[in-house]
Amino acid sequence: MATVSEATIEKFGADLGRRERLAWTVLRSAMVAAAKVWFRYEVHGRENLPTDGAFILSPVHRSNLDTPLLPVIRRKQIRFMGKESLWEVNKFSSWFLTMMGGFPVERDSSDRGAMAAAEAVLQRGETLVMFPEGTRRSGPVVQAENMYDGPAFVSGRQQVPIVPVGIASTEEAMPVGKKFVYPKKLVFVIGEPIDPPAQNENGRVPRRVVKEHTELLRQRLQELFDQAKSLR
């Protein structure tokens, strides 16, 4: 799936600096203001976000807008993995993504490094975005065959909850292949946290249990996705 260098793992296991925290506050404020005007967005279920401790934020994924708009749902910084090429576009792109909590991973390779970096973030008590559908999908149904076990696997290893999120209208606001962003009303519905799968006596989560947890996450995502669309 993806790898990251040891330097990246070490970096994102370290504390965020004052510069990064300040940049997050300023950039998020600007993003919230712009999103209110352009998308007239609504957020439902903020009370379901844990107030402390690490957790995995797992939204449906229908548009490139999903990642940059997620900061509107909470003030505290979130972290996310992105394909390495995004950091190579230009210096501003690299700076912006890093300041917003992103870190680069290499695609089409082993996933050990990416998982190690993800776990380092969670061990620091931070929030990590993991899209269970892997990449952008289309349509109103969260398909079982499109679900990845990554969130359930990491949740089990680190014993942190998963918070599912339904997002309505980002696909219409910025369809695949389009560069223009249309002013559609967006709705975010945050679900109740899903407890991590239980570990066995060896401190591991059996593959069968991980699969069952992924299916539970899929069902919750579908419910929240439907609810978000009904509130538009």
How many CB atoms are located within 10 Å of the residue 20 CB? 15
In this predicted model, what pLDDT tens digit does every residue of 141-167 receive, in sequence order? 999 999 999 999 999 999 999 999 999
The edge-to-edge listing of strands for the beta sheet with 42-44 is: 2-3, 102-107, 78-83, 127-129, 55-59, 162-168, 187-190, 42-44
Cα 53 to chain centroid distance, Å, stands at 16
pLDDT at 22: 85
In this predicted model, what pLDDT tens digit does every residue of 83-122 receive, in sequence order? 777 778 788 878 777 777 887 776 554 467 677 888 888 9
Q: What is the pTM of this model?
A: 0.89
Instruction: Collapse the DSSP code of 17 into the 3-class scheme (helix H, G, I; strand E, B; otherwise coil) and give the result.
Output: coil
Rounded Cα gap, residues 164 and 128, in angstroms: 12
Domains of the chain: 2-230 (3.40.1130)
Non-local (6+) Cβ contacts of 201 within 8 A are none
In this predicted model, what pLDDT tens digit does every residue of 204-220 receive, in sequence order? 999 999 999 999 999 99
